[in-house]
């Protein structure tokens, strides 16, 4: 048995935190995160009051005078609760409520992080109106005492925060960026009757569930519950699919996390959600840019896997660890599907604009049970492979046509490379392929071109003059004169490139026309299909 320790009280220690905690977090906030903390406060009060009335939040950003103001009519603060506006950890929000704020420090440190002077005015219902002024002098003072002032009445249920002497300036671009951010972050609330205005402009909700519905590859959705010990249950919805609103410039794919209806992070592309891992979602790349996973978590605020500024997800959080297998498997599946359908997104994905989301069972962290998902399509063939497959029978009977088919496929390869002189390369390749096709036809059709006449020496001499070659071939097989004339035209153009001083310009239309001409000739001579 351990010896009994006799304890004697020596002193009572003051556990009040040092005000330096305010200074330590200034660098953690920017215009977005700081203002969102102030908006969060109003939304929490609105939710806790069961959204019983319309909520209006006005954000004012004065670029010329560098002033910020946030005003809401969510209910205001009573005189007895004024201390909660400055006391770290002070909050009437229950930690097990399905709200956004939980730490009790967000709005306090956000205001201080944005400006050197923060003026808070509030009125609860039709009670008195009060003001608190948080200044640099108060922050530097060791005392936590702060004067409150009675002021002329403001509108009932109103709280207004004015921030001046800003620590960082902002401009019109920042204002536009903030409007977009608020529209995305609070889309659910905007759809539910909350009004958020920035400089008088009411924002519209921006959502991300813009799915495509390919019949065999519908969006998939798993609904399940995870348990966070000593806190409670979190309801989880993970929805994944291919999207209609791809924006190559913004790379708007990846994982999107919502906690208690608030967007926390979007376009997440890290190892924690399957990227940069072989066999999972792989390296982020435009080929995978139709894949999106939306994760919605609903439950006690303390059970949410967010950081304290609600700007990122904590991958080591127990709630995140339990949903991670489902997120990774869905992200991996749709990233692979995006890559495999890339060759024809318009026909295989984008045209399917309506449909339903298919429910599935989630993956299990403990048993390593995998999701049941449709089999992925075969890797899409290149145009060359497609041509070879389509002409397999002809190639088997006439092996000398393989090179003719692959050369036509090579034209697509040149086009995809976006060479500055790609049209010139394509024209030279097309004309060479045309000449080789004529030679192969003469060599292998001994019934039309007897070998006793068409010896190697004769053929070598014949091909010194394209007109003679065409005359011999068209004398044995009918080729429409229009195609013969086009072939002659582009042959002359090729000769100008090779033999003359002047350089001629080759357009995409030239390549397209000549290619179509040669495809017709190859079909007539060998039965090839394009």
When pLDDT is averaged across residues 458-480 and rounded to a whole number, the result is 94
pLDDT at 514: 95
pLDDT at 106 over 60: no
**3-state secondary structure (DSSP) of residue 495:** helix
Contacts of 188 (CB under 8 A, 6+ apart): 205, 258, 261, 262
C-alpha 167/C-alpha 113 separation (Å) is: 7
Q: What is the pLDDT of residue 104?
A: 41
Q: What percent of the chain has pLDDT over 70?
A: 91
| Helices within 391-421 (DSSP H only) | 392-397, 402-417
Q: Enumerate the domain spans of the chain.
A: 20-202, 220-360, 383-526
Over range 372-396, report the average pLDDT.
85
Tell me which architecture the domain covering 20-202 has in CATH. 2-Layer Sandwich (3.30)
Contacts of the segment 196-199: beta carbons below 8 A, 24+ positions apart: 196/39, 196/56, 196/57, 196/59, 197/56, 197/57, 197/58, 197/59, 198/59, 198/60, 198/61, 199/59, 199/60, 199/61, 199/175
10 Å CB burial of residue 512 (0-12, 13-18, 19+) is middle
pLDDT for the residue numbered 105:
44
pLDDT of residue 114 exceeding 90 = yes
CB 112 within 8 A of CB 26: yes
Kindly tell me if the per-residue pLDDT of 167 is higher than 50. Answer: yes
C-alpha dist (Å) from residue 220 to 35, 213, 237, 360, 372: 35, 10, 10, 7, 10
pLDDT digits (tens, 9 = 90+) for 222-280: 999 999 999 999 999 999 999 999 998 899 999 999 999 999 999 999 999 999 998 89
Joined together, the tokens standing for residue 440 give: 């192969």
What is the average pLDDT value for the chain, to the nearest integer? Answer: 90
- Quick one: average pLDDT of 57-80? 95
Interval 117-147: pLDDT, tens: 999 999 999 999 999 999 999 888 888 888 9
pTM above 0.75, yes or no: no
Domain formed by 220-360, architecture: 2-Layer Sandwich (3.30)
């Amino acid at each position: 048995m351990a010896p009994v320790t006799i304890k004697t009280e020596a002193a009572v220690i003051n556990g009040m935190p040092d005000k330096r905690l305010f200074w330590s977090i200034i660098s953690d906030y920017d215009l977005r995160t700081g203002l969102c903390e102030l908006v969060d406060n109003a939304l929490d009060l609105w939710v806790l009051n069961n959204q019983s009335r319309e909520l209006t939040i006005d954000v004012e950003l004065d670029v010329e005078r560098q002033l910020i103001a946030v005003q809401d009519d969510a209910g205001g603060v009573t005189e007895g609760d004024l201390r909660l506006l400055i006391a770290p950890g002070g909050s009437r929000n229950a930690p097990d409520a399905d709200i956004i704020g939980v730490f009790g420090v967000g709005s306090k440190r956000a205001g201080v992080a944005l400006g050197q002077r923060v003026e808070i005015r509030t009125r609860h219902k039709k009670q008195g109106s009060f003001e608190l002024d948080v200044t640099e002098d108060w922050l530097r003072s060791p005392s936590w005492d702060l004067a409150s002032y009675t002021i002329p009445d403001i509108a009932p249920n109103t709280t207004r925060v004015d921030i001046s002497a800003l620590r960082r300036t902002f401009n019109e671009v920042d204002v536009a960026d903030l409007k977009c951010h608020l529209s995305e972050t609070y889309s659910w609330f905007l759809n539910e009757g909350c009004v958020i205005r920035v400089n008088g402009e009411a924002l519209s909700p921006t959502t991300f569930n813009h799915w495509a519905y390919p019949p065999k590859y519908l969006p998939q959705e798993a609904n399940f519950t995870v348990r966070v010990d000593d806190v409670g249950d979190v309801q989880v919805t993970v929805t994944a699919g291919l999207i209609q609103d791809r924006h190559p410039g913004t790379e708007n794919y990846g994982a999107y996390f919502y906690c208690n209806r608030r967007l926390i992070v979007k376009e997440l592309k890290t190892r924690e959600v399957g990227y940069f891992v072989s066999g999972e979602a792989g390296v982020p790349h435009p080929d995978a840019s139709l894949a999106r996973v939306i994760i919605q978590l609903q439950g006690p605020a303390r059970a949410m896997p967010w950081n304290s500024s609600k700007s990122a997800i904590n991958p080591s959080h127990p709630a995140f660890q339990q949903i991670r297998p489902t997120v990774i498997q869905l992200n991996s599946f749709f990233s692979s599907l995006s890559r495999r359908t890339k060759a024809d997104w318009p026909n295989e994905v984008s045209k399917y604009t309506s449909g339903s989301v298919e429910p599935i069972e989630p993956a299990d962290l403990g048993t390593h049970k995998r999701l049941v998902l449709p089999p992925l399509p075969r890797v899409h063939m290149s145009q060359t492979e497609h041509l070879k497959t389509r002409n397999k029978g002809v190639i088997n009977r006439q092996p000398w046509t393989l090179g003719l088919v692959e050369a036509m496929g090579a034209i697509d390869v040149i086009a995809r490379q976006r060479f500055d002189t790609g049209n010139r390369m394509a024209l030279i390749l097309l004309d060479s392929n045309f000449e080789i096709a004529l030679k192969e036809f003469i060599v292998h059709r001994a019934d039309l071109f007897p070998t006793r006449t068409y010896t190697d020496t004769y053929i070598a001499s014949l091909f010194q003059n394209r007109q003679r070659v065409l005359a011999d071939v068209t004398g044995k097989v009918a080729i429409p004169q229009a195609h013969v004339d086009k072939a002659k035209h582009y042959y002359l153009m090729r000769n100008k490139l090779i033999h003359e001083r002047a350089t001629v310009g080759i357009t995409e239309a030239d390549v397209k026309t000549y290619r179509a001409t040669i495809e017709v000739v190859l079909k007539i001579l060998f039965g090839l299909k394009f």
